[in-house]
Structure 1
Amino acid sequence: WMSRASDSLTAFPNICSVKDGVLTNRKWTYTNSKVAEPGINSIASSASGKIWGINHNYCLVSFDIKNQKLTLSKPVINEASNIVNQVNGLVIDEEHIFWISSPFGLTKYNNHTGKSINLKSSLPGAHPLTLRQDPARKEILWIGSNASGLIMFNKATLKATHYTTRDGLPNNTIYGIIPDNQGNLWCSSNKGIFSFHPVTKTVRSYTTRDGLPVDEFNRSYFMEMPDGTIAFGGTNGYTVFNPKDLSGDNYAPQTALTSIRVNNTQPAPGSALALLDNQINNITRIELRYDQNFLSFEFAGLEFNVPEKLRYRYRLKGIDKSWVLSGTDNRATYTSIPPGEYTFLANTANT
C-alpha cells in the first residue's frame, strides 16, 4: 500500500521483491466527501485490518479493505490550520492510540475519545522525521529526527533518550527506521545507512566507501518487504538489501595512547612528562603530585583504511562507573581528581 502527495490511496498487489517494470495499481477516492481533498502523507495499518492515514489538511483517513471504502474524518492536529502538512510518521499501537510526528512535534491521538495531545515539550528542540514502534517493547517508540539523533521515547513515562554521533551514530539526521529479525534498527541518514542495536548499543555504518550508490537519503522513502528485504530511497534511486546477507567487519583495531597532558599544559622539552609522551605505550604506571590532578588523555585507533568510521569509548577506573561512549572524539579530560590509584582504559570500534 502506498500514499502519495498528489492523490489518495494506491494499492500495488503482490510486491514481494523489487523488479524492473511497470507496477499495476488501483486508486481509491473518498466515499463521504465530494470536495477534492489533498493527498495522504503517512499511512499505517491497525489490528482491525483497516489502513489509516493523515492527509494534507491533517485530517484522519481510513480505508476498509473488506468494504473497499475510503473515509475522511476530522483533523487530528488542531494547531495546523494554516501550516503546510508535513506529517511524516504514523504509528497505531495495541490500544488504538495514534502517534503522529509532524513539525509540531509528537502528537498523541485517542481515536476512542477523539482527543489530541501535543507532546512537543517531551522532545525539546527535536523535529521528528519518522516514527517506528519497537517490535519487542510496546511502550517504546523510536523517533528519527532532524539533527537531534535517534530518539527512544517511552510512551508510558513520556521520557526521551537521545542517541547521537556521541554514541557512535554517523549522523544526527535520521530519515527512516526499519527493524530487522535480529533486533537491530536499520536507519537512513545524511551519511549513509546504519544499524543500531537497542540493547548492546552497537552501531554499524555503511557509506559509498562500502558500496552504497549515495550517502544522502530522504524522508518518507523507505519500505520493508515480506522476506525481510529493506529499501531506502536516496538522492539517486533506492538502495535495496537484506540484513541477513550482510556480514559486519569484526576487526577490532588496536588502541594506542598518543598523549597525556597534566594540568592542561604542554610538557617542557626534556622534562619527565615530555619523555613520557615519547614512550607512552611502553609505560604501565606513572606517579603524580596531589596538585597534578587535571589530566587529559588522547588516543587513536590503529586503522588506516577508513579512519572516519572509528568510534571510541574510555573509562578511568575509580572515577567512571561505566564506559564513556565518545563517538569520534578521541580525547578524555578529568579535573580535580582526588588522590588515589586509577587505571585508564580506551577501546576502538570499527563501525
Structure 2
Amino acid sequence: TINNGLYRLSALGLEHFTSEDELPNNRVASLLVDREGSVWAGTNAGLLHLADTPFTSWGRDQGMSDDYVRTLAQADHGGVWIGTGRGLNLWRGDRIVASYTKADGLPGDSILSLQPARDGSLLVGTYNNGLLRMRDGKVVAHADNASGMPGSNQVRAVAEQADGTVWIGTTRGLVRSKDGQYRLFTRADGLPREFVVALHFDRQGALWVGTSDGAAVIRGDDVEAINIRSVNDGKVVFDFLDDPDGTLWLATDRGLVRRRNGVMRSIGLAQGLPIDTFFAVVDDGRGAFWLTSNRGVLRLSRNNVEAVLDGREAQLAGDHFGEADGLASAQCNGGSGPSSLLDAAGNVWVATAGGAAMVNPQAMHSARPTLPQVVLEQVLADDRVVDIAEDGQLHLPAGTRKLEFRYAAVSFLVPRFLRYRHRLHGVESGWVSSGSSRIAQFTNLGPGHYQFDVGVSAPGLGQGWSPDVTRLQIDIAPLPWQRLGFVLAAVAIVLLLLLAVFRWRTHSLRQRTIMLERVVSERTSELRNNAEELRRADKEKTALLGRLREQSREFERLALEDGLTHVSNRRSMDVILAATFAGAVAADRPLSFALFDVDLFKQINDRHSHEAGDKALIAIAQALREGVGGQGTVARWGGEEFAILLPNLRLKEALAVCEQLRTAVEAIDCSAYAPGARLTVSAGVVDRTGILHHEKMVSHADRLLYWAKSAGRNRVCG
C-alpha cells in the first residue's frame, strides 16, 4: 500500500504488517518473492525480509492472558492448555479460545503446573494457592495448607496414578493425596531434597521425582534416591522421558543423562553441546530429541546421542533454534511443568518467557527448500587473491605451493543448516567433510592439473548432498627444473659424473687392495696367537662362572631352607605368609595357619643326646611334609617349633588336617636313636577370619598353641 503497510492473504486469513510490526515504513514501494519463498518489501525507510520460521509463538498479542508461560498440557479435541504468570489459557484450532484469570474465579493468577485428570478435569498447580481441580473453566476443588494439605502452597509438579491417587510436588516436600488422606514425603523418607520440580510415571508405574538436588524413584511406599552428581556433577533434575525398553532420560542442570539397566551416562559441553542446562526433553517420534534451555531449543538426532553415549562417536551435531526461528523469546522456562510437550498432532510445544512456541517436526522435513548452488567467493594462491580466467579456469604461475578456497551457499532461510564437503583431485581421493566451515586450504602443491569440487547439504532438514557441484579447473605451471627436458639433461650429466667417479674409485681401490693384502697377512698371524689366548681365558672364565652360579644357588637355598630338616625356614615362611595373606584378602579366599611344638623335647636332648634330638626333628619334619603334601607349606619356625600354612582351607578343614599331622607324629618310631621315647606335638590353628594382618595370625596361633600345652599337650587347639 501507499501508506498503510503490507497485507498478506493466506490460510490464516488477511494478515497486516505495519511500522508497529517492525516494518521500516508504511509506504511499500516494491515487492519481491525470492526462490526460497521469502518476501522482500522495499519501503521508504529501508528493506524488510519476511520469511516463515520453524516455530510459531502465541502470546498476549494473540489473545493470551500473559507472555510468561510456565507450563503446558494436552487438552481434548487437539487443544493445549497453557499456564502463564497471569492465568490459564486454552489453545485450539490455531488460536486462543479461552482464558481464565483471578477475575474468572481462580484464587490466584500464577500457574506453575498442569495435569489432565482421568475423570476429564484438569489439575492446576499454582504459585501460592495450592492445587486446583477445574472442569469446564470452573474450580470444583481446592487443596492448600488451609484445607489440610501438607507441604507448601507452591505446587510445581502434579501427577496422577492409574487408581486416581494424586501426587503433588511442592517446595517443601512431595504430597500424596489418596482417598481424602494426605501423606508428606520429605528427606526423612528418602527424598534427596524437599524442593520438587518434576514428577513422571514410567511405563512400569514407578513415580520418578526430580528435585533441586537429585532424583528419586518411588515404588509403593519405598523411596530410592538417585545420585546424579557422580555422573555429571549435576544437581537439579528438571524433566524425565522414558522409552519402551525401560531407558530413562533426565534433563538436568549439567546435561542430558541416560539411565539404562541401572547405568547412567551423560552428555554436555564436553561432547559439543553449546549449553548444558536443560529444562525439558521431548522425543518427537521422528528420531530426534528436542531440549529446551534458557538459550533456545536444541534438536539432536537420537542415533547421534546414543552413539556418543556408547563411545561410537566423539561429538554431537545438532540444530540450535532461537528468536530468529520464531521463538518469541530464547528464554525457555523450567523448574515447573511440564514445560514442554508433544501434542496429539505431533507438534512440539515449548514454554518461554515470551509466549508458548510450537514447531511441527514433520513440516521441517516435508517443506524442504531447494539447496542453493555453492559460489566460490575468493581464491588465494600463496596468500594472494587471484582471478579466475574467462574460460572458468585458474592458471597459476610456477612455484605456487598453497591454495585457499573460500565459498558459500547463499540462503536466507537455512544458512546454519548447511553443511559442506570438498575435494581436490590430484591430492584427495575422496570427499572431505568440512561441516559448516566455508574455507578449504591445501599446501605443498606441485605443478600440474587439479580440479576443486565443493558441494552442499542440509542434513538437519533431511536434505542430502546436492547433485549440483561447483567445480574449478586449476593449472600450476612448472619451474624450469621441473620440466621434462631439464630433468633428462640433469640425469645425463649426473650419470657421466658418476661414471668418471666410478673409474677413478676402481683404480684407487685396486691399489689399496694390494696394500691391504700385505697388512692382512702380517696381522693374521698375530690374530691367531691372540685367539688362542682368548679361548683359554674364556674356558677358565666359564668354569669360574659355573662355580659361582652353583655357590649362589646354594646360598639362596640356605637362606630360605632350614639346614637340618630341609624344610623352609622362618624367614621364608614370613615372606610366603605375607604374600598368601594379601592374595587371600584380595580374592576373598580362606587361609589357615598353624604352629606345632614338640612336647618335652628337652628330655630327648638331655636323655639321649643332641644328635638324637636332631634326628627326631628330621623325622617330625618329614612326617609333617608328607602329611601336608600339596595342600600347604611346612617351615621350621625355630628350635622344636614348626609352622604350617594351609591356603584355601577354612578353620574346620585345617583342624582336620592338623589332627592327622599330630597322629602322624605320634606314630613315629624313634627307637633307633631314642629308645623308650615317644614323640608328640601340640598345635594352635587359626584362620584369617576377622584378622586384618598376617602377623596377627601368628600371634593368635601362638596363643592357641599355649592353650594346647596348658591343656595337657599332644592336642590341637583352634
Tell me the TM-score normalized by structure 1: 0.61
Q: CA deviation at 1:24?
A: 3.1
Q: Which position in structure 1 is the counterpart of 2:265?
A: 160
Q: Is there any run of 5+ residues in structure 2 with no aligned partner, and where? A: 1-114, 116-123, 306-316, 385-396, 424-431, 441-453, 461-718
Q: How far, CA to CA, are the matches of 1:325 and 1:50 in structure 2?
A: 54
Conserved 8 A contact 1:309-1:350: no
Q: Which position in structure 2 is the counterpart of 1:238?
A: 356
Q: How far, CA to CA, are the matches of 2:420 and 2:206 in structure 1?
A: 39
Residues 184-212 of structure 1, C-alpha deviation per residue, up to 9 Å, x if partnerless?
33332334334333136674544332333
Conserved 8 A contact 1:38-1:55: yes
Conserved 8 A contact 1:170-1:191: no
Q: How far, CA to CA, are the matches of 1:140 and 1:200 in structure 2?
A: 17
Q: How far, CA to CA, are the matches of 1:306 and 1:13 in structure 2?
A: 43
Q: Which position in structure 2 is the counterpart of 1:75?
A: 186
Q: How far, CA to CA, are the matches of 1:226 and 1:250 in structure 2?
A: 27
Residues 150-202 of structure 1, C-alpha deviation per residue, up to 9 Å, x if partnerless?
x14124242213155965x6644322223334343333233433433313667
Residue among 273, 277, 280 paired with 2:401: 273
Residues 250-287 of structure 1, C-alpha deviation per residue, up to 9 Å, x if partnerless?
6567789999xxxxxxx78896432x33xx5xxxxxxx
Conserved 8 A contact 2:231-2:266: no
Conserved 8 A contact 1:224-1:230: yes
Q: Which position in structure 2 is the counterpart of 1:187?
A: 291
Residue among 103, 108, 120 paired with 2:216: 108
Q: Which position in structure 2 is the counterpart of 1:124?
A: 232
Conserved 8 A contact 2:294-2:330: yes
Q: How far, CA to CA, are the matches of 1:268 and 1:241 in structure 2?
A: 45
Q: CA deviation at 1:129?
A: 4.8
Higher helix fraction (1 or 2): 2
Flag the 1:35–1:133 CA change in 2: closer, same or farther, 3 A: closer
Q: How far, CA to CA, are the matches of 1:300 and 1:99 in structure 2?
A: 50
Conserved 8 A contact 1:97-1:108: no
Residue among 175, 178, 187 paired with 1:61: 175
Conserved 8 A contact 1:28-1:70: no
Please tell me whether residue 177 in structure 1 is matched to residue 281 in structure 2: yes
Give matches, 1:7-86, under 5 Å: 7-13=129-135, 23-29=137-143, 33=148, 37-57=152-172, 59-64=173-178, 67=179, 69=180, 71-76=182-187, 78-80=191-193, 85=195
With 304-313 and 210-219 compared, the bigger mean Cα shift is at 304-313
Residue among 188, 199, 203 paired with 1:90: 199
SS of the equivalent of 1:88 reads: strand
Q: How far, CA to CA, are the matches of 2:207 and 2:297 in structure 1?
A: 28
Residues 220-264 of structure 1, C-alpha deviation per residue, up to 9 Å, x if partnerless?
3334544445432212222245545554546567789999xxxxx
Give matches, 1:290-309, under 5 Å: 302-305=409-412, 309=416
Conserved 8 A contact 2:288-2:301: yes
Flag the 1:222–1:327 CA change in 2: closer, same or farther, 3 A: farther
Q: How far, CA to CA, are the matches of 2:212 and 2:260 in structure 1?
A: 19
Q: CA deviation at 1:55?
A: 1.6
Q: CA deviation at 1:307?
A: 7.5
Conserved 8 A contact 1:166-1:328: no
Higher strand fraction (1 or 2): 1
Conserved 8 A contact 1:30-1:70: no
Q: How far, CA to CA, are the matches of 2:329 and 2:401 in structure 1?
A: 46
Q: How far, CA to CA, are the matches of 1:212 and 1:41 in structure 2?
A: 24
Q: How far, CA to CA, are the matches of 2:434 and 2:139 in structure 1?
A: 48
Greater RCO, 1 or 2 (C-alpha within 8 Å, sep 6+): 1
Q: CA deviation at 1:218?
A: 1.1
Compare CA radii of gyration and give the structure with the larger one.
2
Q: How far, CA to CA, are the matches of 2:420 and 2:200 in structure 1?
A: 34
Q: CA deviation at 1:99?
A: 2.7
Tell me the TM-score normalized by structure 2: 0.33
Conserved 8 A contact 1:165-1:328: no
Q: Is there any run of 5+ residues in structure 1 with no aligned partner, and where? A: 15-22, 260-266, 281-298, 317-323, 333-344
Instruction: State the one-letter code of the partner of 2:289.
Output: L
Please tell me whether residue 198 in structure 1 is matched to residue 307 in structure 2: no
RMSD: 4.6
Conserved 8 A contact 2:297-2:320: yes
Flag the 1:330–1:171 CA change in 2: closer, same or farther, 3 A: farther
Q: How far, CA to CA, are the matches of 1:325 and 1:13 in structure 2?
A: 56
SS of the equivalent of 1:199 reads: helix
